[in-house]
Amino acid sequence: MPVPAHYIFLLLAIVCEVIGTTAMAASQQFTRIIPAIIVVVSYGLAFYFLSFSLKVLPVGIAYAIWSGLGIVLISLIGLVVMGQKLDLAAVIGMSLIIAGVLVIHLFSKTAGH
């Protein structure tokens, strides 16, 4: 079963947002030009792709998926790339976020299946 285009656009938006957020940390408060440019371009692309997913998905559903997966991906990048630590409460919280995204995707009639 092929993945619907609106979910592909939402995934692209999430990936661009994660790239932009990672670059924001590297920009050192926008004092480093290359990471700062990556932030601006990535966020621009993120909202561009998000706009396509909003043709089908309600904004609340799209934003819940975007923010949930974005939080988890940024936390994993922080853990693996930046050496940041996650305590048990953070891991449990992120597990609940993933569970929430799955519930929306699998059971919500408003999720644009």
Number of structural domains (the chain) is 1
3-state helix, strand, coil in the chain (%, to 5): 75, 0, 25
Mean pLDDT of the chain: 91
Q: Is the pLDDT of residue 80 over 60?
A: yes
Count Cβ atoms within 10 A of the Cβ of residue 88 and give its class: 0-12 exposed, 13-18 middle, 19 or more buried.
exposed
The one-letter amino acid code at 41 reads V
Position 111 scores a pLDDT of 65
How crowded is residue 68: how many other Cβ atoms within 10 Å of its Cβ? 20
**In 54-87, alpha helices (H):** 59-80
Is the predicted pLDDT of residue 60 greater than 60, yes or no?
yes
Query: What pLDDT does 45 receive?
Result: 98
What's the token pair of residue 79? 């853990």
Q: Which domain holds residue 95?
A: 5-107
Instruction: Examine residue 65 and state whether it is found in any structural domain, yes or no.
Output: yes
pLDDT at 105: 79
Is the pLDDT assigned to residue 30 strictly greater than 90? Answer: yes
CA distances (Å), 4 to each of 11, 68, 83, in order?
11, 19, 35
pLDDT-derived band at 113, boundaries 50, 70, 90: low
Q: For residues 46 and 73, is the Cβ–Cβ distance under 8 A? A: no
pLDDT of 40 reads: 98
- 43-55 pLDDT, tens digit per residue, is 999 999 999 999 9
Place 112 in a pLDDT band, splitting at 50, 70 and 90. low
Q: Residue 112: inside a domain, yes or no?
A: no
Please report whether residue 113 resides in a domain. Answer: no
Query: Taking CA 24 as the corner, what is the angle to CA 39 and CA 70, rounded to the nearest 5 degrees?
Result: 85
Question: Using one digit for the tens of pLDDT, what is the confidence trace for 13-25?
Answer: 999 999 999 999 8
